[in-house]
Amino acid sequence: MSDRLAGLAVLRAAVASVEPTWLRDADRTILAPQDLPLDVASTAEALGVSALDAVRVIKTVWGKVDTHARAALGAAGEQRLVELLVDTLDARVLQVSETSDGFGYDISVEGGESALHIEVKSTNRRGRLAIYLSRNEYEVMCTDHVWQLVAVLLDAAGRIASVGTVNREWIAGSVPFDSSVHGRWESTRLDVPSAAVSPGIVGIGRWLRPSATGGVLDVGIEDSGAPQWLNSAL
């Protein structure tokens, strides 16, 4: 292995093993060599790694950590929401994602002549809501009038702290577009502003049991209508 590759490998292992707090936001805070944290910059210099290569190392580590964390968090948030829906609604709740991920949504709620198809996106961050939307989820949204994208905020104990519905029109206006027949996007990340989120799950009130009125599903958070994870700066 060359000295350069050895240095890159050591730096990558060091960042991955420590997982510093700044790594969570590295996708938007570390974009160029001048953005490098001092500890990384000094370590890279000692290893003979260029500042530009150090930025690339951070992006690689962030991507792997973020993918793993999102998968675990997504599964936890979806399960907590299913449990809450079952406990508080007079409706049939089906976790269709357990059968297939091809539906374009995770949960089906059916009662009487009405239904909701809920795609769940989970976070444990306050002050930022970044979601990943697949092409299939988007195309289902475009043709399914009862499709909803619901964001779930989990607290440190893994409990639901807040729920919000992301506006469909905002999603449609924010996804990429295919500029030619030779390429198409398959997945995209959306940084959702507070103005695009409505508290609670829109349309869920028709099935709420009387004892659940005013709960997190209806108003987004107990005793408040403001989704906690979004701040006015977004």
Question: Do residues 80 and 160 touch, judged by C-beta distance below 8 A?
Answer: yes
The β-bridge relationship of strands 147-154 and 114-123 is: parallel
Q: Is the pLDDT score of 67 beyond 80?
A: no
Question: Do residues 105 and 138 touch, judged by C-beta distance below 8 A?
Answer: no
Complete DSSP assignment for 148-205: EEEEEEE-TTS-EEEEEEE-HHHHHHHS----BTTB---EEEEE--GGGEEES-TTGG
pLDDT digits (tens, 9 = 90+) for 179-209: 998 999 999 999 999 889 998 999 998 999 8
Strand, helix or coil at 99? coil
Give how far Cα 56 sits from Cα of 11, 27, 30, 183, 199, Å: 11, 11, 10, 25, 38
Q: What are residue 113's phi and psi, to 5 degrees? A: -100, 10
Query: How confident is the model at residue 233, as a pLDDT?
Result: 38
pLDDT digits (tens, 9 = 90+) for 135-165: 999 999 999 999 999 999 988 888 898 899 9
Q: CA angle at residue 36 from 26 to 153, to 5 degrees?
A: 20
Interhelix angle 38-47/51-88, nearest 10 degrees:
130
The β-bridge relationship of strands 187-191 and 130-134 is: antiparallel
Query: How confident is the model at residue 219, as a pLDDT?
Result: 73
Q: Is the dihedral of CA 30, 34, 38, 39 positive or negative?
A: positive
Give how far Cα 130 sits from Cα of 3, 10, 153, Å: 37, 30, 12
Q: Is the pLDDT score of 228 beyond 60?
A: no
Q: For residue 206, list its beta bridge partners.
A: none
**Mean of the per-residue pLDDT values of the chain:** 88
